[in-house]
Structure 1
Amino acid sequence: MSNIVSPTTMKAVRESGAVPGAEFLLEVSDVRKEFPGVVALDNVNLKLRRGTVHALMGENGAGKSTLMKILAGIYVPDSGTFRLRGQNIRLKSPLDALENGIAMIHQELNLMNSMTVAENIWIRREPKNRFGFIDHRQMSRMTSDLFRRLEIDIDPEIQIGTLSVASRQMVEIAKAVSYNSDVLIMDEPTSALTEKEVNHLFRIIRSLKDDGKGIIYITHKMNELFEIADEVSVFRDGQYIATRAANEVTRDDIIRMMVGREITQMFPKETVPIGDVVLSVRGLTLKGVFRDVSFDVRAGEILGLAGLVGSGRSNVAETIFGVTPATAGQIFIHGQEVKVSSPSVAMKHGMAFLTEDRKETGCFLLLDIQENAQMAVLQNRYVNFGFVQQRKLSRDAAAMANRMRVRTPDMHERILNLSGGNQQKVLIARWLLTDPKILILDEPTRGIDVGAKAEIHKLICQLAGQGVAVIMISSEMPEVLGMSDRIMVLHEGRMTGILDRKDADQVKIMELASH
């Protein structure tokens, strides 16, 4: 890569505008990146036009996030060239990327919980007074001006740690916009947003497009792609597949390019024998969160839990599993009342719980795949006379990871290095090793590509066929409708109804979820 322009020169180029005749705002050519045992990117390409949204699609592990981290200066490529506004650039650090006008909104939010909103947005760029001290009043005014422009209603002086995930996501978006970057990378920006907040984000994106910004948009949600994108590029197994105008492709076209095959049945729901009641919940209450929730789940049944953000779905699941013990109500397993005071008690009674947030409460990021997979079984069926049967455990953990089709060089790879979809598969493998009779799945396919989703859906159906009682929480309406035998709907901590599969549709669920 010759004729490299320094950040200082590049800053001047930014201020003076693009190099005359440059057709693309950003050009990525023949980029390669290897990690130990894995080729993450194999000579990939990407071209971004000014004033457009370019969606980047691919299964988990396709290389999307790796390329974005290279563009954000987090990873250094092994080879390849990058041209920004017609000039060759080399990005050695995140600061390099920002000085060149490239900002990234990460899927895992990078905010300081103990600092205020304003401090997070202007960190290392704080305005100073004439004595050289941080001018907090000016910083708050700057934040208010930024929020006013973006129509964000958040107090600049509030501590980040007190905000909801959705509000923190909007702060992260505002922080990226505050750099006035020409290239804005958004990695799954709507994963924690409500429909209203997604519409708000799309208004911001359209405004940025009008200002001539180029936006690279990573998402697994097809409906978003067709609503906001101008072009779409597809990666598969670390390789560039194709680029198409968004209005010239269908959902099926994109899926075929992503997975290299047809996915004929996204929700492979099978009719299986429904057995006796395994789990009964009566009058379950967690003071101030939800109240008087009652339902049954039978062997072989998939009970879907639906509701809007804040409805209490995840809280009900956590209480059943003993993460936050109930303040009132009863839980019966096979007709016997049990006091589920902790997750260990729940597990002794055959329960397993896949948490909603794999990064915060699921994965042990610094441990390897095998250590993560075996975490839930070290106190039960693999322990004899106080000793762990390590050889049997290792063999079964590897077999389960293989069954889940976890993409990894070996079981000793740190889970931190896996894609989100493969991390999710490891977590599901962890709980399947416990041979559960009651399986609670909170957002089992969030942030996962269509291929992995189909695999997980098939696995859930197989488990139901084996007599496991499944409770599945999902924010995706097609998933709830496609996978559930019955659907329980919550609204603001109240159970508003239970629908049979044959009677359920999107309208009925939304009516129950909204009042």
Structure 2
Amino acid sequence: MPRQAALKTVRARGAETPYLLEVEGVRKAFPGVIALDNVSFRVRPGTVHALMGENGAGKSTLMKIIAGVYTPDQGSFRLHGQDIRLTSPLDALEHGIAMIHQELNLMPFMTVAENIWIRREPKNRFGLIDHGALRRMTADLFAQLNIDIDPEAEVRSLSIASRQMVEIAKAVSFESDVLIMDEPTSALTEHEVEHLFRIIRDLKARGKGIVYITHKMNELFEIADEVSVFRDGRYIGTEPADRVTRDDIIKMMVGREITQMFPKETVPIGDVVLSVRDLCLDGVFRDISFDVRAGEIVGFAGLIGSGRSNVAEALFGVAPATSGTIAIRGERVSIDSPRTAMAHGMAFLTEDRKDTGCFLILDVLENMQMAVLGQRYVRAGFVNEREAARDCEAMRSALRIKTPNLAERIENLSGGNQQKVLIGRWLLTKPKILILDEPTRGIDVGAKAEIHKLITRLAGEGVAVIMISSELPEVLGMSDRIVVMHEGRVTGVLDRAEADQVRIMELASK
């Protein structure tokens, strides 16, 4: 029997079950770590089931098993009440299970339409791809989802947010019964999040089951019907979303209460460390001016596309400014490369850990020591590997990075633990100016609190901190002053006492 016909038969036979998808007794081990230990999970049709847990809790591992990416060591799966076995992502798709991964998997040199319909392209009578039909299919899909993206655009030309919407459209195009979304809003603006939620509600109305992995509590309470919590690879429990509080969920996730998410402390503010005047990058941003003092945390807010990250890249020499001045402790400097920026005591955590942060095929030690290897650990042309490993192990312990050891390949770590490795990399340089672009993106609430405490401690030690974040509570909770940008220019600078979400959004949309 053809697979699609068999799938219809499975759906018909399983009509009496209240569950769309059932997972029982799943175990999965990787070298040195048990990722999942006897985990069970169920999704009802026409619902959004949120999946919560700290980084390394096993959420993404379970979803990759359900999506056919990983094979479990043991466990069973039922779809529409019937046993199934998933051997590959293609197998999962043909059973009606699609996943939008946290790390986007689009092909940058292909068009949007080609990415969405790859392996399913319409053919003409000569057996060749019918590009006209391909474009029309994509346009129809985008019209259904109210997505305004050119089907002919190459993916590499799109912003991260637009790529995320393409991934969502691709998953929807399979007309799957189960749609897994792993941190789908990590790169979306508030307006785009509202758009995504409209799409999700439409899918719910059509009887689809949505598995929604997120670290954002406000999203959970807005969109979820049920919430399940994992901790350390184990299933903790499932509750209706309208019967639990934020504190209930956090306690289930971390096994303890977190009393202060934004541990901002009053620390001495010193002299100006970094002074920027009339900085411009042709066609990207213009006339950017601000100061950062020792011990000060200056937050950068603005909608995606406002130019915040571009300013950070210019300061660090990734894309040097075309005009304007940068002064460090009163002395004008020319920063034309990251090497020059590092020589002046700067460090830069980029917003995209996969593309511009991690070396995925290298281990944790190699990734963490990358920025300091040639500066601190080389003696007479030889690397003191013991000293490097000692310092990296101390940083791993301080940041509570979940990894069996420093020899583990970083690609095997959860997204949040990868982020911690990158933070550790830059802290090893002992920077005087620390630029953090979305430092807690994709990090759970427990780890966020740890990172916030670390940022506060660094400020207390006199480090000048620039923190870019799309999460307004984070900007408001951590910043001494907030620089707001819109379309490549500064529209306002707010002191901590006068800043609130309304004022920031007014400035960000001028």
TM-score bracket, shorter-length normalisation: over 0.9
> Does the aligned pair in 2 maintain the 1:286–1:328 contact within 8 Å?
yes
Q: 2:371 aligns with which of 370, 373, 376?
A: 376
| Residue of structure 1 in register with 2:300 after alignment | 305
1:170 aligns with 2:158: no
Q: Which residue of the other structure, out of 449, 456, 473, is the alignment partner of 1:461?
A: 456
* Structure 1 residue 388: Cα displacement: 2.4
Matching of residue 498 in structure 1 with residue 488 in structure 2: no
Letter paired with 2:417: N
Question: 1: CA distance between counterparts of 2:167 and 2:15?
Answer: 33
Aligned partner of 1:390 in structure 2 is 385
2:234 matched to which residue of 1? 239
Residues 192-232 of structure 1: per-residue CA shift (max 9 Å, x gap): 11111111111111111111111101111111111111101
Shift of 1:383: 2.6
Give the TM-score taking structure 1 as reference length.
0.97
- The equivalent of 2:412 in structure 1 is 417
1:94 counterpart residue number: 89
Shift of 1:97: 0.4
* 2:436 maps to 1:431: no
Aligned partner (choices 214, 219, 225) of residue 224 of structure 1 = 219
| Aligned counterpart for 2:396 among listed residues 401, 418, 443 | 401
Task: Find the counterpart in structure 2 of residue 449 from structure 1.
Answer: 444
User: Does the residue aligned with 1:423 lie in a helix, a strand or coil?
Assistant: helix
Match of 1:263 in 2: 258
RMSD: 1.4
Q: CA deviation at 1:9?
A: 6.1
Task: Name which of structure 1's ranges 257-266 and 275-284 shifts more when overlaid on structure 2.
Answer: 275-284
The answer as to whether partners of 1:191 and 1:447 remain within 8 angstroms in 2 is yes
User: Post-superposition shift, 1:94?
Assistant: 0.9
SS at match of 1:201: helix
Cα offsets for 1:231-252 (capped at 9, x unmatched): 0100011000010001111111
Which amino acid letter does the alignment assign opposite residue 252 of structure 2?
M
What does the per-residue CA deviation read over 1:452-492, in whole Å, with 9 as the maximum and x for residues that have no partner? Answer: 00000000011111111111111111111111111111111
Match of 1:281 in 2: 276
| Equivalent residue number for residue 181 of structure 2 | 186
Cα distance in 1, alignment partners of residues 40 and 382 from structure 2:
52
Distance 1:330 1:148 in 2: 46
* 8 Å Cα contact 2:482-2:494 kept in structure 1: yes
Residues 1:11 and 2:7 aligned together: yes
SS in 1 for 2:466: strand
Give 1:6 deviation, angstroms.
Answer: 9.4
When structure 1 is superposed on structure 2, of 58-67 and 391-400 the one drifting more is: 391-400
Give 1:130 deviation, angstroms: 2.5
Tell me by how many angstroms 1:7 deviates.
4.5
Give the number of aligned pairs. Answer: 510
Distance in structure 1 (CA, Å) of the matches to 2:26 and 2:296 = 47
Question: Percent sequence identity over matched residues?
Answer: 74
Whether the 8 Å contact between 1:61 and 1:238 is mirrored in structure 2 is yes
Does the residue aligned with 2:367 lie in a helix, a strand or coil?
helix
Structure 2 distance, partners of 1:147, 1:17, is: 31
Q: For residue 159 of structure 2, what is the amino acid of its counterpart?
A: S
State the TM-score, normalized to the length of structure 2: 0.98
Q: The residue matched to 1:295 in structure 2 has which SS?
A: strand
- Cα deviation for residue 10 of structure 1 reads 3.8
Alignment pair present for 1:202 and 2:197: yes
Once the two structures are superposed, the pairs formed by residues 308-327 of structure 1 within 5 Å of their partners are 308-327=303-322
SS of alignment partner, residue 192 of structure 1: coil
Query: Using the alignment, how far apart are the partners of 1:436 and 1:20 within structure 2?
Result: 60
**The one of 467, 478, 483 aligned to 2:478:** 483
CA-CA distance at 1:382 after TM superposition? 2.3
Distance in 2, matches of 1:151 and 1:497, equals 32
> What displacement does 1:386 show?
3.2
1:248 matched to which residue of 2? 243
- State the secondary structure of the residue aligned to 2:374: coil
How far apart are the structure 2 equivalents of 1:259 and 1:407?
A: 14
Matches of 1:319 and 1:9 in 2, distance apart? 56
Asked if 1 retains the 8 angstrom alpha-carbon contact of 2:189 and 2:470, the reply is no
1:509, CA displacement in angstroms? 1.3
SS of 1:30's equivalent in the other structure is: strand
1:58 counterpart (53, 73, 80): 53
Partner of residue 41, structure 2: 46
- Runs (4+) of structure 1 moved beyond 6 Å? none
Q: 1:115-154 residue pairs with structure 2 within 5 A?
A: 115-154=110-149
Distance of aligned partners of 1:160 and 1:17 in 2 relative to their CA distance in 1, 3 Å threshold: farther
Secondary structure (helix, strand or coil) at the match of 2:482 reads: strand
Contact 1:10–1:100, Cα closer than 8 Å, also in 2: no
Describe the shift of the 1:449–1:250 C-alpha distance in structure 2 as closer, same or farther (beyond 3 A). same
Question: Is 1:28–1:46's contact at 8 Å kept on the other side of the alignment?
Answer: yes
Contact 1:7/1:96, CA 8 A, preserved across alignment: no
Contact 1:352–1:438 (8 Å) recurs in 2: yes
CA deviations over 1:154-210 (Å, ceiling 9, x no partner): 222222222222122111111111111111111111111111111111111111111
